[in-house]
Amino acid sequence: MKKLLTVLLVLTVASSLAFAGGGQQGGGSGGVTKGMDRKIVMGYSQIGAESEWRTACTNSVKAAAADFNIELIFSDAQQKQENQLQAIRSFIRQKVDVIAFTPVVSTGWEAILQECKDAGIPTICVDRTVEAPNTLYDVYIGSDIKAEGVKAAKWMVDYMKSTGNTRGKDDGNRTINIVELQGTVGSAAATDRQIGFKEELAKYPNYKIIKSQTGNFTRAEGLQVMEAWMKAPDAGEIDVLFAHNDDMAIGAIDAIKAAGKKPATDIIIISVDAVKGAFEAMLRKELNATIECNPLLGPQIMETGIKLVQKQPVQKWIPSIEGQYDWTTAEAAYPSRQY
């Protein structure tokens, strides 16, 4: 009898705390939901560890799971979609309460999402979108990636008109030659940044993308591709580098310097993410600007997971709040950066 009373007391305390912690950052017992005698279990399929951004995202997810008292089964897919599909099938077999995943590429998800639906497990698409009916997943938590491409193009045109590079400003006539380091081919992050950038660029016919190649969001590949471009006969005609993320930009900066050119002066460089490495490059005057893409999604993911398990209403898209930084703002912002 005494044992039964103890169990009942623990359950009562836990369920009352659930509402106190459910929606708050650092929510303590948010993961123990009313009517449940255990923690919520979330399966998370992460892409890998290709960039500073990805590492910051993973750290945010793991920290928030602890803060919200959610049991996290975390899988690193090493950049392979087949590993993600295997991990999600394993989550289904384990009968987790909710599944979150960052799709490495945007296609090939309909079948697995249907399997999650058939198993009655809610799904959260994180950071990158999928090409699938949005009835197949419950929520998308992440940035407006296309808008990041538009912002990058807007910043670039403004800078070329006001300041320019060593070959001069944009006087409305001079052809401005751009090279583009794309992210992972087929990923929504690369596809949508390129769409946004080109959409804005179409307003300025004298801006031309003369080369575009994937650097797979990594420093190493950004360096390799830029090295090749700096050895080509038309290297001296490059005015701007648009990199889909800071890691590739940082790799490219090393290649530009190795070729005896001045990054951010000879070749203007605009990238995306706003990770610490980008701020350090801006403070060294080697990177001109970066468009923020917020990786600190952990608290939103956990809050949403709890709501889905509690069958509470959630909005279909939970957008990230983000800005942009260049030499005029980097120094003041750097000390408070969290990733």
Write out the residues near ligand GZL by the rule CB under 6 A. Answer: 50-51, 53-54, 127-128, 143, 145, 189, 217, 245, 247, 272-273, 293
Q: Give the nearer residue to ligand GZL in terms of CB position, either 201 or 250.
A: 250
Strand order in the sheet with 139-142: 71-76, 41-46, 98-101, 123-126, 139-142, 317-319
Minimum CB–partner distance for residue 245 and ligand GZL (Å):
4
Query: Is 246:275 a contact under the CB 8 Å cutoff?
Result: yes
Q: Give the nearer residue to ligand GZL in terms of CB position, either 292 or 303.
A: 292
Q: Which of 118, 77, 135 is nearest to 101 (CA)?
A: 77
Minimum CB–partner distance for residue 262 and ligand GZL (Å):
25
Q: Give the nearer residue to ligand GZL in terms of CB position, either 15 or 75.
A: 75
Scanning the structure block, which residue is given the tokens 């006539």?
Answer: 173
Q: Give the nearer residue to ligand GZL in terms of CB position, either 128 or 151.
A: 128
Q: How far apart are CA 137 and CA 213, in angstroms?
A: 31
Q: How far apart are CA 281 and CA 189, in angstroms?
A: 22
276 class by beta-carbon count within 10 Å (0-12 exposed, 13-18 middle, 19+ buried): middle
Minimum CB–partner distance for residue 272 and ligand GZL (Å):
6
Measured distance between the N- and C-terminal CA atoms of the chain, rounded to whole angstroms = 52
Q: Give the nearer residue to ligand GZL in terms of CB position, either 11 or 195.
A: 195
Q: Give the nearer residue to ligand GZL in terms of CB position, either 46 or 165.
A: 46
Minimum CB–partner distance for residue 16 and ligand GZL (Å):
37
**Which residue lies nearest ligand GZL, judged by its C-beta?**
53
- For every residue of 202-236, DSSP letters joined together read TT-TTEEEEEEEE-TT-HHHHHHHHHHHHHSTTGG
Minimum CB–partner distance for residue 223 and ligand GZL (Å):
15
Q: Which of 106, 105, 77, 104 is nearest to 89 (CA)?
A: 77
Minimum CB–partner distance for residue 148 and ligand GZL (Å):
8
Minimum CB–partner distance for residue 37 and ligand GZL (Å):
37
Q: Give the nearer residue to ligand GZL in terms of CB position, either 146 or 211.
A: 146
